Amino acid sequence: MSRVASVALHTFKESVRERVLYNLIAFALLLIGAAILFGSISVGVEEIILINLGLSSISVFGLLMAIFIGIGLVSKEIERRTIYSILSKPVYRAEFIIGKYLGLLLTLAINTAIMTAGFYVALFYQKRSLSLDDLVVLEAVYFILLQLALVVGLALLFSCISTPILSAVFTFCLYIIGNLLNDIRWFGQETGSALVEKGTAVLYYLLPNFSNFNASAQVAHGESIPPYLLLANSLYALLYVGILLSASILIFEEREFR
């Protein structure tokens, strides 16, 4: 366990050193701040715009961080040949993968917390007060974190089998497909072909369904997410991340490094 923690901590420290990370956080905070100005040119939706733009910024910049740092988690170690010195130490490959995953997740959680704090500062500036009702936004932030946990899992998996660029492309494509799964399934049902319908149904259950975690519009209207959905989505993300990590470990354990 302590070995996983030290890999995770090392990954976290390494991620924090990435200059791109600070640029992304700064840009996200800037965008959240700009939402106040954006709201002033609209009518009656100032707070809704701030919440939607804030959550979208947290989600999009979190996604960029997850992909661009996640794709290099393993492949960079191989490229720099640092993998040899790591694996020569008493660290199991599974521990290495889990540690890498948790390290990046920790980085993303802290970045998300910073962006969320920035969002609440902007909300306070706009409303001149904050109430308990405003905490509903945290539910959507939690869903964004679950989404990012899945994206990091995917990026890590591809990082074990492919180059960083291809890993980025695969992860991003799966993110888009995962957002369109409901439509893909509906399309399969509409074709009238049993084969296509079954094929799209398989894809629907097999691929990560990112649309499960889209709750921004709902919380922007002050609606809370039902407890069942909070629990089911947490379990879904946990299970899916478990599958992705297991697959990554299996692939990584079979790789030979010479």
Q: Which residues bind another protein (CB under 8 A)?
A: 38, 41-45, 48-49, 51-53, 55-56, 59-60, 175-176, 179-180, 183, 210-211, 213-214, 216-218, 220-221, 223
CB of 221 to another protein, least distance (A): 5
How far from chain centre, in Å, is Cα 110?
A: 13
C-alpha separations of 52 from 160, 215, 218 in Å: 35, 10, 10
Nearer to another protein, 121 or 180 (CB): 180
Nearer to another protein, 125 or 186 (CB): 186
Nearer to another protein, 176 or 195 (CB): 176
CB of 258 to another protein, least distance (A): 41
Nearer to another protein, 4 or 140 (CB): 140
CB of 220 to another protein, least distance (A): 5
CB of 43 to another protein, least distance (A): 5
DSSP one-letter string for 49-67: HHHHHHHHHHHHHHHHHHH
Q: Where are the alpha helices (DSSP H) in the chain?
A: 2-17, 19-40, 46-70, 75-79, 82-88, 93-127, 136-161, 164-179, 181-191, 194-206, 216-220, 227-254
50 contacts 39 by C-beta, under 8 angstroms: yes
Find the angle CA(113)-CA(114)-CA(118) to the nearest 5 degrees: 115
Nearer to another protein, 52 or 112 (CB): 52
CB of 114 to another protein, least distance (A): 20
